[in-house]
Structure 1
Amino acid sequence: MLNKIIESYRVSFSGLSRETWLLSVVILVNRCGYMAVPFMSMYITQSLHRSIADAGLIITLFGAGSVLGGMAGGYLTDIWGFRPVQIVCLVISGLLFVLFGMVTSFTGLCILIVVLSFFVEAFKPANSTAVAAYSSPGNLTRSYALNRLAMNIGFGFGTSVGGILAAINYSLLFWVDGVVYILAGLLIVLLLPKAKMVSRSGHAHAAEIVGQSPWKDALFVRFLVVVMLYMICFILLFRLVPVYWKEEMHIGESTIGILLGMNGIIIALFEMVLIQNLGNRRPDSYYMVAGTVFSALAFSMLVVPVIAPVILAAAAVILFTIGEMLALPYISTFVMSRASEFNRGKYSAAYSVSQSVAQIIAPAAGGYIAAHWGYNVLWVTLVILSFSCALGFRMLFQGKMRLG
């Protein structure tokens, strides 16, 4: 039995390119410092003593900058290449995180968060394009799973440490974030080779490739709408749920950090093996539907009568993490498989924009609902929205679904 488990892990991690592994090391380092953003709403309410509505505004502005950054990052990736875009975005983001921890003016923070989120988000299309460029088509889903594994190991470590740092001094979060972002940029310079740009010469019909513009790809645009709705649920779990745990369930910052860190630890332990074993058993869309159903179950844990707050919180994280492992790798694979070698950056940008729009809508709408009607109404709304996403994916890929 033990040998079978070991062999399953060995097979899951074999066959990936050296560059894919090196890129994952960079992402691991980067995400080890990703601790300020999950705690940003708590920083605004607990350290700066602003209202939950102000915290929602800051996160909404983060989303606004992200929309611009996602679009710019994708187009610049197609022009300059994913390597320089990643390096520049990481270094500048690091400097801006340090600056964010020094600014106390709320107006100043509102301006700075837009600029900061621009560079944080511009990195993502370049990174997603890099994963596809370093991977073979047959290993694309596993390459994204490895990238997410690195992200989530880093996230698990970062949020756990972040909770401890937040309990000591919130400013430490931004200093650590800044230093680690800059370090990740330097690692790309040192570890990853310069990639060859895809030449458009000799491709007279490149502009005629199906889906050359993601915004003219009708199926893809509908897909992005459903993804945006799912990301609203995703963002609120990591933005407003920690505030709810703190204010309503009286869970401490350190424990909240551990709870959020569980997400990364579970993904690190199980996602690669899960993706390997699922293989081609069902169409990718099946797992997108299943993932959003688990999201609904996770939010339902937040409306269960409170008996043991930490247990219910842990159950919510575990259920949501299962859903995330099922949905997100296949969502990323669909995005890149829909693109060509000429427009990966643009498709990645469109995908990033859908997430960024969710970052605008989610905190503002979530904060408004929580402030006016209470958290329970918000959680019930998210349960309904998650089931709606499942139905949306089901209808979108209805011709490809095999349920039996």
Structure 2
Amino acid sequence: MSAVAVESPAPAALPRAFWALWVCQLVNRLGSFVQPFLVLYLTHDRHLSAGTAGAVAAAVGAGSVAAQLSGGWLADRVGRRLTMLICFFGTGAALILLGSARSMAMIWVTAFLVGLLGDLFRPAVQATVADLLEPGERVRAYGLLFWAINLGFSVSTVSAGVLASVGYGLLFWLNAGTSVIAGLVIWAMVPESRPAPEAGVPHRPLLPVVLRDTVFLLMILLQIGYATIYMQGYSTLPLAMADDGLPSSTYGLVIALNGVVIVLIQPFLGKWLVKIDRPKLLAVSMLVVGLGFGIGAVVHTWWGYGVSVVVWTIGEIGFAAVIGAVFADLAPIDLRGRYMGLAGMAFGVGTVVGPLTGTNALEHFGPTVTWLGCAVLGVVIFIGQYSLAPALHARAAANAATA
């Protein structure tokens, strides 16, 4: 089977289990009230210092990174469905515990658990889509999931601000409730999709396979590089806009364009993206994100930064639609969940590296060098990703033949 995406079928052709995953993602994100307001809750209701609250938020992030590996392992060993059920029901419990925690020890532990349990589902969902759909259908499917996530999150961030005025405790209970609802959707409508292991064939360990997989390791490096650029939108951009004399409220409006563009444009771009060669689309998308941030080197007004956000958001749409499909084509079938987990962990590493490098570059070298550096890194990633296209096509064809 060719690794080049083909014309997607009509929406009704996608299986019922996929649409259940879509609903699950939407519901889960509609209730994502706690994380955006966690620091405010800890400083206002728990009277913690800003530094301590930030460290607690980092504990959530650490749990999220750990979830990628553990979620991938669970998806391959105990099954995709059970992993997602553990995630959603466990997250509901962890959120209630975090909202009622009084001691710092309990806050630290439950914050880590919220991150860990809350992101266990990611490798399982990615692997389930690859299990359910043929390679030619995956780009459209991953794009639809990406759209559902952003639609839900856009609504939740607005409604959370209103709900927080009533009381932060309500955010924890509602977030936990939507997590449980998402789990019930999985329990009722999503069957186990993990390919049955061959009789008499032992489970392969991940590390020896990965260390010999040069193509995958290079993809991991490119993923870290992309995430490093992408995270500038949430770390360096607000500082650069403040240095230009723009208030924080203006940054809020400018970054909101990201969600608006995704919700409005992605469904229309998705029909076109499925027709494009996947590895090359991924390369171009990474380049567009780098160049979009590079625009920051020559703008100093709110509308200039707005143009920058719109450009890199278009690149993000292409990246998000195709990255899961590319890793699904690349992964050995019996290690699919763990490969997806490693890919997610690589992005998590970039979310740590990005803010550190971007903010330090801004402080020591200034905005022009920082934003041009993003553009240069985007070009480097583009070249690397484009060069990997033949190897990715060969691996996709080999995996398709094995399946």
1:194 matched to 2:194? The reply is: no
Are 1:387 and 2:379 counterparts? yes
Amino acid at match of 1:199: A
AA in 2 matched with 1:354: A
Structure 1, residues 212-256: CA drift from partner, whole Å, max 9, x if none?
934431101110111112112333424564576689632439x82
Q: Name the Cα RMSD after superposition.
A: 3.8
C-alpha deviation, 1:362, in angstroms: 3.1
User: Could you list the runs of 5+ residues in structure 1 that have no partner in the other structure?
Assistant: 1-9
Which stretch shifts more, 237-246 or 386-395? 237-246
**Is the CA contact (8 Å cut-off) linking 2:144 and 2:267 kept in structure 1?**
yes
1:267 alignment partner, one of 258, 262, 271: 262
**Alignment partner of 1:220 is 2:216:** yes
2:27 aligns to what?
29
Distance 1:303 1:102 in 2: 45
Paired amino acid for 1:158: S
| Whole-angstrom CA distance in 1 between matches of 2:41 and 2:353 | 20
> By how many angstroms is 1:333 displaced?
0.6
1:378–1:61 Cα change, 3 Å: farther
Give per-residue Cα distances to partners, 1:311-357, cap 9 Å, x unaligned. 34433332222001112222111111112332211111111211222
**Structure 1 Cα separation of the partners of residues 52 and 332 of structure 2:** 42
Q: Distance in 2 between matches of 1:111 and 1:244?
A: 34
Segments of structure 2 that go 5 or more residues without pairing to the other structure are: 1-7, 394-403
Q: Is the Cα contact below 8 Å between 1:87 and 1:188 reproduced in 2?
A: yes
Q: Please report the TM-score for the alignment, with normalisation by the length of structure 2.
A: 0.79
Partner of residue 141, structure 1: 139
Paired residues of 1:144 and 1:333 also in contact (CA < 8 A): yes
- Find the counterpart in structure 2 of residue 300 from structure 1: 294
Please say if 1:325 is aligned against 2:323. no
Cα distance in structure 1, aligned partners of 2:322 and 2:193:
27
Which residue of structure 2 aligns with residue 5 of structure 1? none
When residues 382 and 58 of structure 1 are mapped into structure 2, their CA distance, relative to the original with a 3 A threshold, is farther
Aligned positions of 1:1-400 closer than 5 A: 13-38=11-36, 50-51=49-50, 57-58=55-56, 60-102=58-100, 109-165=107-163, 173-190=171-188, 192-195=189-192, 197-202=194-199, 204=201, 213-238=209-234, 241=237, 249-252=246-249, 256=252, 259-281=254-276, 283-307=277-301, 309=302, 311-366=303-358, 379-397=371-389
* Stretch of structure 1 that moved more, 236-245 or 152-161: 236-245
Q: Is the 8 A contact 2:132 2:193 kept in 1?
A: no
What is the SS of the residue equivalent to 2:285? helix
Which residue matches 1:4?
none
CA distance in 2, matches of 1:25, 1:128: 15
Question: Shift in Å at residue 89 of structure 1?
Answer: 0.9
Offset at residue 112 of structure 1 (A): 3.7
Give SS of 2:246's match: coil
2:146/2:320 contact within 8 Å kept: no
**Structure 1 residue 195, shift from structure 2 partner:** 1.8
Q: What letter is aligned with 1:321?
A: T
Note closer, same or farther for the CA distance 1:216–1:44 as it changes in structure 2 (3 Å cut).
farther
Counterpart position of 2:5? none
1:63 and 1:156 map into 2 onto residues whose CA distance is 20
- Residue 291 of structure 1, CA deviation: 1.4
- Within 2, Cα distance between the matches of 1:246 and 1:12? 46
> Residue 35 of structure 1: CA displacement?
4.3
Q: Percent identity?
A: 24
Q: Distance in 1 between matches of 2:55 and 2:375?
A: 23
Counterpart AA for 2:268: V
Deviation at 1:31, TM superposition (A): 1.1
Q: Which amino acid aligns with 1:263?
A: N
Distance 1:299 1:76 in 2: 37
CA distance in 1 between counterparts of 2:171 and 2:75 reads 29
Deviations along 1:18-46, one digit per CA (max 9) or x if unpaired, are 21111101111111123443455676788
Aligned to 2:399: none
